[in-house]
Structure 1
């Protein structure tokens, strides 16, 4: 992911009001982010425990999405919809996002299961075990990164109201 400034991040949000956009708390350690190690930027708001944010790079522009942590979380350990890691070292939570524009103002949302701390970029870069990797662990890693990016792009399109 290419680096973004604070103003680029704030301008990228597609499903927030102007007031919400201005009050977004940037991630802790923002000035130390290793952008090249991330396929998206995701973080939780320390002041708003039910809020999370994602900025997903797309071909056109970065798409910022405000998320809300779902009230009822899955009982069984679910799989993240983005990284699809079967050996997750972290929790997965249900998040919803208002759809951008008029649909979101009417209350329409999309939801998905995401690593609760947005660890997906790190998860797909972990060297796969021999059972999953076969003869070419790097090819498996690269494939997992590509799948993550594809899933992120699809979610961004759904929030923009372009997908199902």
Structure 2
């Protein structure tokens, strides 16, 4: 991922309201980010409970989405993150939803997926050893490529401008 400035990060969000952009808090280590090793940028907002942010590249440009974690705890013993395909204890994976961009989002359309609760998929996928016996086993490079692709697909689903059903 190419290096982004704070203004570029704020300008990248496709589904954020002006109020959400006003209260957006960058990750505490933003100035130290190793952009050459980031497949996408994702973080939880430390000041706003349940809110997170995911930025990927879409058609050569940064595209960010505001996501919300579902309230409550999972009763599942384990769960798989749909981005990094890593098995985690159930309380370490959350359902995140994102309001769709444009008119569809204004009508309340959302997309959702299960993601590592701390949004650290780009770090988790770099662990060489599988975390659980039933985890999808692949080389680290393949896992990194797959995680990047799935994050980009999630952002593309938020950007999807399919007609709103009424």
TM-score range, shorter chain: 0.7 to 0.9
Between the aligned partners of 1:161 and 1:59, the Cα distance in structure 2 is 13
Aligned match of 2:106: 105
Between the aligned partners of 2:143 and 2:100, the Cα distance in structure 1 is 27
Segments of structure 1 that go 5 or more residues without pairing to the other structure are none
What's the RMSD between the two structures over aligned residues? 2.2
Aligned residue runs from structure 1 range 1-164, under 5 A: 1-76=1-76, 77-86=78-87, 91-128=92-129, 140-161=139-160
Task: Could you list the structure 1 runs, at least 4 aligned residues long, displaced by more than 3 angstroms after superposition.
Answer: none
Between the aligned partners of 1:125 and 1:119, the Cα distance in structure 2 is 10
**For 1:50-77, what per-residue CA distance to the aligned partner results, in whole angstroms no more than 9, with x for missing partners?**
1111111223311110011112443212
Q: How many residues align?
A: 156
Between the aligned partners of 1:17 and 1:51, the Cα distance in structure 2 is 13
Bigger proportion of residues as helix: 1
Bigger proportion of residues as strand: 2
Structure 1 position 125, deviation (Å): 1.3
Contact 1:73 1:94 in 2 (8 A): no
